[in-house]
Amino acid sequence: MERRALISVTDKKGLDNFAKTLTDLGFEIVSTGGTLKFLIEKGIKVTPIEKVTGFKEMIGGRVKTLHPNIHGGILYIRDNKGHENEIVSEGIKPIDIVVCNLYLFKETVKKNPTLEDAIENIDIGGVTLLRAAAKNFKYVTVIVDSSDYEIVAKELLEKGNTSYETRKRLCVKAFTHTADYDSAIETYLSEVLIDNKKLRLSFDSGVNLRYGENWHQTASFFKKYTNEPSVANMKQLHGKALSYNNYLDIEAALNPAKELSQYNAAVIVKHLNPCGIATGKTLLDALKNAWDGDRVSAYGSIIALTRNVDLETASFLKGKFVEVIVAPSYNADALEFLKNKSKDIRIIEIGKLFTSEEKIYKFLIGGVIEQDRPKGLYEKWECVTKEPFPESKKNLGLFTIIATKYTKSNSIVLGMEYEKDQFKVLGSGVGQPNRVDSLKKLAIPKIYENLENMWNEGKSKVDKETFFKEKISDCVLVSDAFFPFDDTVKVAAEHNIKYIIQSGGSIRDKEVIETSDKFGISMIFTGMRYFNH
């Protein structure tokens, strides 16, 4: 019995070559409308759909394939004698391959069309074809994605038919395609017709994690497609299975690393907070200086690097306990060193760093919040004090803003330029109910601890007091939001901090500025808040 393939697609990428393969293998190709015209223009023999149905395309193309001669040929069970006899008696020929993808509904509604135009882009026949072919996957091959042409053609050429395993996979892909399509239609019409805004999210490829947030909890990770380098598409090269906390910490390290991707940079994270961030002339310089940001917290940390890891950089981690290292790529000798360092260390390859996702989500019990991804570092760059903010400090300020964006609020971060055009976090205070505690009780002690380490390692020829004073006076302090009172400014002044960046917008801005002027502090208002809950 002659084999048939029905082809009706919007996306015609690679279709001519695939259709030619089918005709070479003896398939009769049945097609519709624009697809028919395309194949004829490519010199491929095609049977118009109306020769099969006995009806021309009707009512402006709304009815093309909805006919027993089509769906009977797709849906009948090949090894059911009753079905076989009925198909033969009705003169219906089998359809063994269905190639179909749907009208571009999502793309259409993005252009804010009229309701009538949107409705005309709701595919009926295509969805029915896909559901019918997918339902009968035991016998019928259904293709929704041009990337599957190659494997189907290969199996047909080598075996005469597609494998059952391939048809199972293509079946699920087809139902995923129609489910996503129906979801897009429902979401649009729900808002337009009945003013009910809906959000439907789809995740798949679920994997069990080593354990959940705590040992007694189980957890799984499900993926959503994205081309952005992320935990969804990372490649684990070595080490133990990842846990819930590992996934969250990897993302927490990757986010600032992406914003620093133009530099040799290192980000060290512990419990979702960066405990060390630095840039460097080399990747090794960046990693050393990030590690010095908090040597205690770096124990058992997650490290994200912005460049290919060489052996010199990898060797810095000798004798240091690290849970995860994430980087775009690794030299072979660096990878071998890290593997030999520990059988447990998770080594993650992430590819080139960039951002593409526009929205982020926060799941709550009974709901989810969708919001814009935080973009940019400032809306304005306004010096509001008598003391000017030097242009030479701006890049340090921007680096410190990036570090602040990815700490948990309330947060204060101090950045320093440890070499010309190379920056590091000298100290931070994060996750506190009030900002003055973030500075006074956390950031300031950490700054002095790190400066003590630098002094003890002989990094200055002046006396200790002078060294501390000079280094702190060169730092830039960034707050994740405005100062509700001037108390944080007073603490900063006590420790010789001279440069502050904050959002502005408090009802006490005037008081804060006056206090800054009193102590000779230069202050920038950015107009942008960096809360991270």
pLDDT tens string 18-27: 999 999 999 9
Active-site choice (20, 42, 271, 490): 271
CA–CA gap between residue 75 and residue 134 (Å, rounded) = 9
- Which of 500, 516, 530, 398 lies closest to 439, judged by CA? 500
Question: What type of residue sits at position 214?
Answer: N
Q: Which residue has the tokens 């909805």?
A: 66
End-to-end CA distance of the chain: 65
Give me the mean pLDDT over the 223-244 stretch.
94
- Supply the pTM of this predicted model: 0.85
Dihedral sign, Cα of residue 239, residue 243, residue 249, residue 251: positive
**Residues β-bridged to residue 324:** 302, 346
Instruction: Answer with the residue of higher pLDDT: 533 or 305.
Output: 305
Is residue 1 pLDDT above 60, yes or no?
Answer: no
- Tell me the domain boundaries of the chain: 4-194, 234-349, 376-525
The helix-helix angle for 149-159 and 15-24 (nearest 10°) equals: 10
- Measured CA angle at 397 (ends 395, 401), to 5 deg: 115
Q: Which fold has domain 4-194?
A: Rossmann fold (3.40.50)
C-alpha distances out from residue 244 to 208, 214, 271, Å: 10, 8, 11
Strand 412-419 with 476-479, pairing: antiparallel
- Look at residue 338 in the predicted model and tell me its pLDDT: 96
CA–CA gap between residue 484 and residue 482 (Å, rounded) = 6
Instruction: Answer with the residue of higher pLDDT: 329 or 51.
Output: 329
CA–CA gap between residue 86 and residue 74 (Å, rounded) = 13
Catalytic residue at 135? Answer: yes
- Whether 17 contacts 9, CB under 8 Å: no
Instruction: Answer with the residue of higher pLDDT: 33 or 166.
Output: 166
Give me the mean pLDDT over the 315-324 stretch.
95
- Look at residue 79 in the predicted model and tell me its pLDDT: 85
CA–CA gap between residue 397 and residue 227 (Å, rounded) = 30
* DSSP-derived 3-state class of residue 154: helix
Ranking 45-59, 92-106, 214-228, 467-481 by mean pLDDT, the lowest is: 45-59
CATH of span 234-349: 3.40.140.20
Give me the mean pLDDT over the 411-423 stretch.
96
The whole-chain average pLDDT of the chain stands at 93
Our measurement of the distance from residue 126's CA atom to the centroid of its chain's CA atoms, rounded to an integer in Å, reads 31
- Look at residue 58 in the predicted model and tell me its pLDDT: 64
- Look at residue 129 in the predicted model and tell me its pLDDT: 93
Is residue 524 pLDDT above 80, yes or no?
Answer: yes
Question: What type of residue sits at position 113?
Answer: P
CA–CA gap between residue 236 and residue 214 (Å, rounded) = 22
Active-site choice (93, 135, 223, 490): 135
- Look at residue 53 in the predicted model and tell me its pLDDT: 80
Q: Do domains 234-349 and 376-525 have the same CATH topology?
A: yes
Strand 412-419 with 367-372, pairing: unpaired
Burial tier of 487 (Cβ tally within 10 Å: 0-12, 13-18, 19+): middle
Q: What would the two tokens of residue 42 be? A: 């490519």
Q: Residue 475: CA atoms inside 13 Å, Cβ hemisphere, count?
A: 29
pLDDT band at 91 (very low <50, low <70, confident <90, very high): confident
Q: Which fold has domain 376-525?
A: Cytidine Deaminase; domain 2 (3.40.140)
Is residue 342 pLDDT above 80, yes or no?
Answer: yes
Instruction: Answer with the residue of higher pLDDT: 412 or 59.
Output: 412
- Look at residue 386 in the predicted model and tell me its pLDDT: 97
Catalytic residue at 408? Answer: no
Strand 4-8 with 97-100, pairing: parallel
Over the range 273-309, which residues count as b (16 or more CB within 10 Å of their CB) and which as e?
A: bbbbbbbbeebbbbbbbbbbbbeebbeebbbbbbbeb
CA–CA gap between residue 386 and residue 276 (Å, rounded) = 33
Residues with Cβ within 8 Å of 218's Cβ and at least 6 positions away in sequence, in order, are 208, 209, 211, 212
Q: Residue 17: CA atoms inside 13 Å, Cβ hemisphere, count?
A: 10
pLDDT band at 109 (very low <50, low <70, confident <90, very high): confident
- Whether 65 contacts 40, CB under 8 Å: no
In degrees and rounded to multiples of 5, residue 337 shows phi and psi of: -60, -45
